[in-house]
Chain A
Amino acid sequence: MTKLADNINPHIYEKGTEREITASDLDENVVDEIDEREIFDLIRNINDPEHPLTLEELRVVEESNISVDNKQNTVDVNFTPTIPHCSMATLIGLSIRVQLLRALPSRFKVTVKVAEGTHASEHAVNKQLADKERVAAALENNNLVQIINQCVAIK
């Protein structure tokens, strides 16, 4: 039996435009620091585990909920589950974290959290996502890694 999605009829938003390439982007003499838009581009196309839609289309991730500090080497991503009881929140958070761990230089400390007030078990989900030992153990589980790889694969 296939399990019905938690949110069977989610609101779908339009995709944003691609990043505009400016003259300074092409100038080899200008350092291009990693910015919010770059992080957003890394995670906007992650697939939702339950729908054939991206996290951007479901507005689970938004550029305005990302902050980057290149001095402190921190990246903070707040994501918004489509419904407060979404059972997939941990999996979505883990997919975002894995994608960023794989894509970003190791100097960055990545924090992925449920945006404040958007999930019933916000605290529990955040604590689990922040526990690197649990994340490390989860990433040794082949079934789970397969599911995450499907989420982060570009379709």
Chain B
Amino acid sequence: MSKLELLQTLNGHKGIVWNVSWHPLGNIFASCGEDKTIKLWSKEGQDWTIKTVLVDGHQRTIREVAWSPCGNFLASASFDATTAIWDKKSGQFECNATLEGHENEVKSVAWSPSGQLLATCGRDKSVWVWEVTGDDEYECEAVLNAHNQDVKKVVWHPTMDLLASASYDNSVKLYKEDKVDSDWSCVATLQSHESTVWSLAFDKTGERLATCSDDKTVKIWKEYKVDNQEGVIVTERESTWKCVCTLSGYHTRCIYDISWCHQTGLIATACGDDIIRIFREAEDSDPNAPTFELICTKLEAHPQDVNCVTWNPSGNKELISSSDNGEIKIWKFEE
């Protein structure tokens, strides 16, 4: 019987905790929210404690934080229309660059796998790609206006410079750079959700994508490359992404976040019904019509909405979640 064992409850924030982000080594994490602060946590003995609090970086809610793949930089996206980049070259964490350009709320920020690119998105319906051009220098590479409503989340492919975005317009879009003219453009639109898509996560291969939505479903999408053996038709020499699985009937309210562990293959979801659910692909799962089984339901994981879930990147089956009431919880998945 598998279960989520609560390791610790952390009450450091006031108000909504929107997001938590693991450091790539999995021994530190950052959290942010309505109280406009970023807190950095690490373990002291058995207990997670606040090591640093970053204040004065933003004027409004901080919606998301993201560690760079090298672990030296932290990016924060805020409703104040800016994205801040923090590092501790001087010995302690400081904001050494601010990315401005979005008209209003920035809702998500993500580093590309190489750490050379950064993506942001927001209520102004646009997705921006930024290039790291030098020490504390960032240049806008592209402004992508493919969505027709606010963009909730951006996520990079685990190994390539392929970007995915999720939107209030119910769709997911994928973008990449054309190597010939170095122009970024939308290369695929994934349409099947019936309401806002709140979050998305690639599996470790990057050939599958899981999306979660206000329509109370999770969908799994599979990439069919130009030379696919299944006979799926592709156009204009770009892969086709097909929805190969819909998990419906499990969640009872909006699903705010999804995390796909690259070590264990487990999928965790954060839901407005206060529940964390864990899904695992069945052993005899057909790649073209996969089966995912609900293997764990943590009722009342938090007393209010669960906003964020994220697996420890080290693969030790630790999961962090955050909620509207200021709580962060650390869980361990056990079989």
Q: Does A64 contact B (CB under 8 A)?
A: no
Decide: B60 and A140 in contact? CB cutoff 8 A: yes
**Closest residue of chain A to B168, judged by CB?**
A131
Complex interface residues of chain A between 128 and 152 (CB less than 8 A to chain B): 130-134, 136-137, 140
| A141 smallest CB distance to B (angstroms) | 9
- Is there contact, CB below 8 Å, between B303 and A106? yes
Q: B61: which A residues are within 8 A, CB to CB?
A: 136-137, 140
Instruction: Determine if A131 and B123 form an interchain contact, defined as CB atoms under 8 angstroms apart.
Output: no
- In the assembled complex, the Cα of A106 lies from the Cα of B304 at a distance in Å of 7
With A130-B214, A131-B168 as known contacts, state yes or no: A136 contacts B16, CB within 8 Å.
yes
| B interface, over-half SS | loop
- In the bound complex, CA of A109 to CA of B275 (Å): 13
Report if A127 contacts B (CB, 8 A). Answer: yes
CA distance A130 to B213 in the complex (A): 13
A137 and B196: CB pair below 8 A?
no
B325 at the interface (CB under 8 A from A): yes
Number of A-B contacts (CB under 8 A): 37
CB contacts (< 8 Å) of B73 on chain A: these are none
Q: Are the CB atoms of A109 and B272 closer together than 8 Å?
A: yes
Determine which residue in A109, A134, A136 has the highest number of CB atoms from chain B within 10 A of its CB, and name it: A136
Bin the interface of chain B by size.
20 to 34
Tell me which residues across on chain A come within 8 A of B325, comparing CB atoms: 106
Q: Is the CB of A132 within 8 A of B168?
A: no
Known contacts A106-B325, A140-B61, A140-B79; is-contact A127 B196 (Cβ 8 Å): yes
Report if A107 contacts B (CB, 8 A): yes
B272:A133 contact, CB within 8 angstroms: no
Q: How far is the CB of B157 from chain A (nearest CB, A)?
A: 25
CB-based contact B303/A137 at 8 Å: no
Residues of A with C-beta under 8 A to B324: 106
One digit per residue, 1 when the CB lies within 8 angstroms of any chain B CB and 0 when it does not, for chain A 104-141 equals: 00110100000000000000000100111110110010
A71 to chain B, nearest CB (A): 13
Of A106, A109, A133, which one neighbours B253 at CB under 8 angstroms?
A109
A127 touches B34 (CB 8 A): no
Q: How many residues of A contact B (CB 8 A)?
A: 12
B residues near A107, Cβ cutoff 8 Å: 303-304
Within 8 A of A (CB), among B206-247: 214
When distances are taken between beta carbons in the complex, the residues of chain A under 8 Å from B63 are: 133
B79/A127 in contact, CB under 8 A: no
What separation, in Å, do the CA atoms of A93 and B61 have in the docked complex? 23
CB-based contact B253/A137 at 8 Å: no
CB distance B34 to A136 under 8 Å? yes
Residues of chain B from 295 to 335 with CB closer than 8 A to chain A in the complex: 303-305, 324-325
Whether the Cβ atoms of B79 and A137 lie closer than 8 Å is: yes
**Interchain nearest-CB distance for B229 vs A (Å):** 40
Contact with A along B278-292 (1 / 0, CB 8 A): 000000000000000
Once bound together, how far apart are the Cα atoms of A132 and B271, in whole Å?
Answer: 13
Contact pattern, B 46-82, Cβ under 8 Å of A = 1, otherwise 0: 0000000000000011010000000000000001000
Q: Nearest chain-A residue to B252 (Cβ)? A: A72
Are B168 and A137 in contact, with the CB atoms below 8 A?
A: no
Q: Is B107 an interface residue (CB 8 A)?
A: yes
Which residues of B sit under 8 angstroms from A130, Cβ to Cβ?
214, 254
Cβ distance B275 to chain A, nearest Cβ, rounded Å: 12
Seen from chain B, the residues whose Cβ lies within 8 Å of a Cβ on chain A are: 16, 34, 60-61, 63, 79, 105, 107, 123, 150, 152, 168, 195-196, 214, 253-254, 272-273, 303-305, 324-325
A and B contact pairs by CB, cutoff 8 A, 22 listed: A106-B304, A106-B324, A106-B325, A109-B253, A109-B273, A127-B196, A130-B214, A131-B196, A132-B272, A132-B305, A133-B107, A136-B34, A136-B61, A136-B79, A137-B60, A137-B61, A137-B79, A137-B105, A137-B123, A140-B60, A140-B61, A140-B79
In the A-B complex, list the 10 residue pairs whose CB atoms are closest, starting with the nearest. Answer: A140-B60, A137-B105, A137-B79, A106-B304, A140-B79, A140-B61, A106-B325, A136-B61, A107-B303, A136-B16
